[in-house]
């Protein structure tokens, strides 16, 4: 069950509700006890007094009435408030007076012993108001006590929250959180945080070492490939075909180097100063390569909406990776069709008339290692995941729509 209120509010509410229930039951029990004792004592006293007074009435002598007591028989002189009184003990409360009445019927005649209990009724009313005031006072005291106890109970939790928030960088060498807490529920929570932070530190250390190793180990062979290509291209004895192939190798090595930098930036969350370029410039430099890839697969790659004039500039390697992965994905899933790249001032669209993506799979297509049911099985399902991660990093928006009559459309809008 989920609660919208905070833990401190629930503690205060628990105090108030518990006090309300306990003090409410106590107040009702006290009031009922007072009424019961009043009725029992009054009945016994009136019954005793009635026996004495009724004997005097039968003997025709003076009635021995207590102060504030009166004796009536049924008749014209009987007060109106007694005419509807039930037999036995009755308490009658008027606007400004209160009476205890003991009614006995003997034959056709009724006899009433009435005792004025107005002072007692006022005292009883004051007592009831005191009970109600005590109930309200106990609620207020429980609220104040709840505030105090909530602060005391929540204080360790808030302290632990601040300590966990301050450990966002997960530095090594910090003392364990559980060392500052008692062996209670909060201490158990601190120990759980310690275990989680330790595993996170180990995972981050492994990731840092891996990215460092990748960065170091791949740069050397890529530098060898690039330098070798530069040396070969510089030779004047090479024919055009060989020079073109070496140029392809050189571009592929540069692309791998750029991808390595992209992966490292994504893995480390770094804001590095990448070289920037416009969308049109990247498309014009890479379009011949993409078109050749499309021709090999039997497709036709079409460029539309070329931007004119100055354009916004973006990290070259990030934008090139997004474009390259989307175009290769479209080429891979299209056979003998058209792929249209449409440039816009705020982004681009890539449409194909290939296999398309089912509506129930579109929400899953950007997840790592996910491959659609109709996709070829030679891919790893990482290209679109990489594209989405880059878009999230650069605060770009990427959406997938259905293309008519077949295929799909990827739309990227720059922030």
Q: Residue 299 has what pLDDT? A: 92
CATH number of this structure's domain 185-265? 1.20.58
Q: Residue 97 has what pLDDT? A: 85
Distance CA 20, CA 23 (A): 5
Residues of the chain with pLDDT under 70: 1-5, 167-174, 211-212, 214-216, 267-272, 306-311, 369, 371-382
Q: Residue 176 has what pLDDT? A: 75
The residue extents of the domains of the chain are: 7-149, 185-265, 273-413
CATH topology of domain 273-413: Heat Shock Protein 90 (3.30.565)
89: Cα separation from own chain's centroid? 63
Q: Residue 396 has what pLDDT? A: 93
Q: Residue 309 has what pLDDT? A: 46
For 135-189, the pLDDT digits (tens) are 899 999 988 988 888 888 888 878 777 777 776 555 556 677 777 777 777 788 8
Q: Which of these, 138, 154, 135, lies nearest to 10 by C-alpha position?
A: 154
8 Å CB contact between 339 and 294: yes
Q: Residue 159 has what pLDDT? A: 79
Distance CA 116, CA 43 (A): 14
Who contacts 97 (Cβ-Cβ below 8 Å, separation ≥6)? 116, 118
Q: Residue 185 has what pLDDT? A: 78
Q: Which of these, 119, 120, 102, lies nearest to 111 by C-alpha position?
A: 102
Q: Residue 339 has what pLDDT? A: 93
For 307-318, the pLDDT digits (tens) are 554 568 898 888
8 Å CB contact between 379 and 332: yes
Q: What are phi and psi of 65, to 5 degrees?
A: -100, 140
């Amino acid at each position: 069950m989920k609660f919208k209120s905070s833990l401190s509010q629930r503690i205060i509410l628990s105090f108030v509700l518990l006090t309300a229930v306990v003090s409410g039951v106590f107040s009702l029990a006290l009031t009922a006890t007072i009424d019961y004792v009043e009725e029992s004592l009054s009945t016994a006293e009136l019954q005793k007094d009635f026996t004495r007074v009724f004997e005097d009435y039968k003997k025709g002598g003076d009635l021995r009435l207590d102060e504030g007591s009166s004796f009536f028989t049924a008749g014209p002189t009987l007060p109106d408030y007694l005419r509807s009184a039930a037999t036995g003990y009755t308490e009658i409360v008027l606007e400004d007076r209160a009476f205890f009445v003991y009614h006995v019927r003997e034959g056709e005649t009724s006899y009433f012993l009435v005792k004025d209990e107005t002072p007692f009724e006022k005292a009883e009313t004051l007592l009831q108001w005191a009970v109600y005031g005590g109930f309200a006072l106990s609620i207020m005291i429980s609220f104040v006590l709840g505030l105090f106890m909530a602060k005391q109970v929540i204080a360790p939790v808030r302290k632990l929250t601040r300590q966990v928030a301050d450990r966002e960088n997960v530095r090594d060498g910090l003392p364990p959180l559980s060392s500052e807490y008692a062996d209670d529920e909060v201490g158990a929570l601190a120990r759980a945080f310690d275990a989680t932070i330790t595993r996170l530190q180990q995972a981050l250390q492994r990731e840092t070492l891996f990215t460092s190793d990748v960065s170091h180990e791949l740069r050397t062979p890529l530098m060898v490939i690039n330098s070798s290509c530069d040396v070969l291209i510089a030779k004047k004895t090479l024919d055009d075909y060989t020079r073109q192939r070496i140029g392809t190798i050189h571009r592929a090595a540069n692309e791998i180097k750029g991808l390595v930098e992209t992966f490292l930036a994504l893995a480390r969350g770094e804001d590095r100063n990448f070289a920037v370029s416009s969308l049109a410039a990247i498309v014009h430099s890479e379009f011949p390569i993409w078109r050749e890839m499309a021709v090999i697969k039997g497709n036709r790659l079409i460029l539309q909406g070329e931007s004119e004039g100055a354009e916004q500039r973006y990290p070259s390697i990030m934008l090139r990776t997004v474009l390259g992965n989307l175009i290769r994905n479209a080429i891979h899933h299209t056979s003998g069709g058209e792929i249209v790249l449409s440039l816009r001032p705020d982004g681009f669209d890539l449409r194909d008339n290939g296999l398309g993506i089912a509506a129930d799979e579109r929400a899953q297509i950007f997840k790592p290692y996910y491959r659609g049911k109709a996709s070829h099985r030679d891919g790893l399902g990482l290209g679109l995941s990489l594209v989405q991660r880059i878009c999230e990093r650069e605060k770009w928006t990427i959406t997938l729509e259905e293309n008519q009559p077949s295929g799909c459309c990827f739309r990227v809008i720059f922030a």
